[in-house]
Amino acid sequence: MDLCRFHYCLSRLIFISGIVFPVMVASIGVNYGQIANNLPLPENVVPLVKSIGATKVKLYDADPRVLQAFANTDVEFMVGLGNDLLAKMKDVDKAQTWVKSNVQAHLPATKITSIFVGNEVLTFNDTTLTGCLVPAMQSVHTALVNLGLDKQVSVTTAHSLAILETSYPPSSGAFRRDLTSCITPILNFHAKTGSPFLINAYPYFAYKASPKQVSLDFVLFQQNQGTIDPSTNLHYDNMLFAQIDAVYAALAALGYKKLPVHISETGWPSKGDEDEAGATPDNAKKYNGNLMKLMSQKKGTPMKPDSDLNIYVFAMFNENMKPGPTSERNYGLFKPDGTPVYSLGIALSNSTFSNTTSFGGSSGSSDTPTSSQGSSSTGYLTISSATTSW
């Protein structure tokens, strides 16, 4: 299939229940991981992102091929600075060099609005790495200030939900006591700079751990009786919103009631090993499809009804080089050839995609994708489950 044909097919209307899909979910974000050797070229990912109505993309590095491909598309980007670079980024000069080459060089054509420094650092149980996190965040922010970019590009970091000690009921949400001394400086940074608190939340893990105790309808946003928080009398009919509100409660308990919470990762695998309960195409379709429909209603959580939902679905593609159980390689909305993994309620032409020379990714044998100089995807190799009360 030639490139013109590719773009023509993607421009055809995509419907969910008779409504044009991009209109319904204009605020959706998507994670674009690249731990694979068979992915489409970045320029062919642009129409795919638009086909699902996504207006925001989260990268685990600052791959210049991707950032250049999305120039002048109006898609907002969150770029990542890998865990293995945190020690180096404590030096403001090195941080400024990184920002110049990985962020400033692509502005304003590509809308880079955020840098997340480190991924799930606090739950790696590496004290050296943890000690580098806040200094690295501060250096990157200082670099942005020096370059006059701090008003348009924020600095944050992404956390696993496992930083919570309790999450049920939502009003009792609290951070792990052993992490409080590490989390407080991060929260001070957010409060000072106005950046959001990022959390990776996967109801799938709660269901996988206790499929007989956890209601599948509750985790898949299906109709169910739900549960009532006895302390607030708030009603929850899905687990993700309950998890989000548990994070809000944990923040409030430390005195940070006004910090916005964004969900930097959530998703459901379409395939898993025998012991991975619930990892099916039908469940993945229900989770992601229902989530997108819910976001289109522009409602907040029970605890924060007026707050916008800022959620990034994981992930664009199935990534064949990710280590771990089968589920790790099957979170994608799309297969590497660009066809949907499951329908998601979208009617696509069967001839929309073909695995031809229009596609092509890195062919190396490493576990990390080709990335820009000074960038890294270290830390994004497995999706960590959260050991919470759910």
Over 50: is that where the pLDDT of 299 sits? yes
Quickly state the pLDDT bin for 16 (edges 50, 70, 90). Answer: very low
Q: What is the mean pLDDT of the segment spanning 209-234?
A: 95
Strand partners, 223: none
Q: What is the mean pLDDT of the segment spanning 252-268?
A: 96
Mean pLDDT of the chain: 85
Q: Which residues fall within 8 angstroms of residue 332, CB to CB, at 6 or more apart?
A: 270, 315, 316, 317, 318, 319, 341
Which residue type is seen at 149?
Answer: L
Catalytic residue from among 165, 265, 319, 328 = 265
CA–CA gap between residue 374 and residue 370 (Å, rounded): 11
CA–CA gap between residue 322 and residue 302 (Å, rounded): 36
Over 60: is that where the pLDDT of 84 sits? yes
Q: What is the mean pLDDT of the segment spanning 79-99?
A: 97
Over 60: is that where the pLDDT of 26 sits? no
Task: State how far the alpha carbon of 16 is from the alpha carbons of 22, 30, 65, 80, 152, in Å.
Answer: 10, 18, 31, 32, 34
Q: Which two tokens stand for residue 363?
A: 């062919």
Quickly state the pLDDT bin for 345 (edges 50, 70, 90). Answer: low
Q: What is the mean pLDDT of the segment spanning 211-222?
A: 95
Tell whether omega for the bond before 169 is within 30 degrees of 0, i.e. cis: yes
Q: Report angle CA 225, 227, 229 to the nearest 5 degrees.
A: 155
Cα 270 to chain centroid distance, Å, stands at: 17
In the prediction, which pLDDT does 119 show?
Answer: 96
Q: What is the mean pLDDT of the segment spanning 140-153?
A: 98
Task: State how far the alpha carbon of 212 is from the alpha carbons of 131, 235, 236, in Å.
Answer: 40, 22, 19
Helix (H) or strand (E) holding 166: strand 164-166
Q: What is the mean pLDDT of the segment spanning 317-329?
A: 96
Three-class SS of residue 235? strand
Q: What is the mean pLDDT of the segment spanning 330-341?
A: 95
Quickly state the pLDDT bin for 351 (edges 50, 70, 90). Answer: very low
Task: State how far the alpha carbon of 304 is from the alpha carbons of 8, 172, 234, 249, 300, in Å.
Answer: 41, 15, 11, 11, 6
Neighbours of 239 (CB within 10 A): 25
Task: Check if the beta carbon of residue 61 is closer than 8 Å to that of residue 82.
Answer: yes
Over 60: is that where the pLDDT of 347 sits? no
Over 70: is that where the pLDDT of 4 sits? no
Q: What is the mean pLDDT of the segment spanning 107-117?
A: 98
In the prediction, which pLDDT does 344 show?
Answer: 73
Overall pTM surpassing 0.75 (yes/no): yes
Catalytic residue from among 120, 165, 319, 328 = 120
CA–CA gap between residue 329 and residue 323 (Å, rounded): 8
* Percent of the residues in the chain that have a pLDDT greater than 90, as a whole number: 76
Verify whether residue 120 is a known catalytic residue. yes
Instruction: Domain 3-329: give its CATH architecture.
Output: Alpha-Beta Barrel (3.20)
In the prediction, which pLDDT does 298 show?
Answer: 80
- Domain positions in the chain are 3-329
In the prediction, which pLDDT does 239 show?
Answer: 97
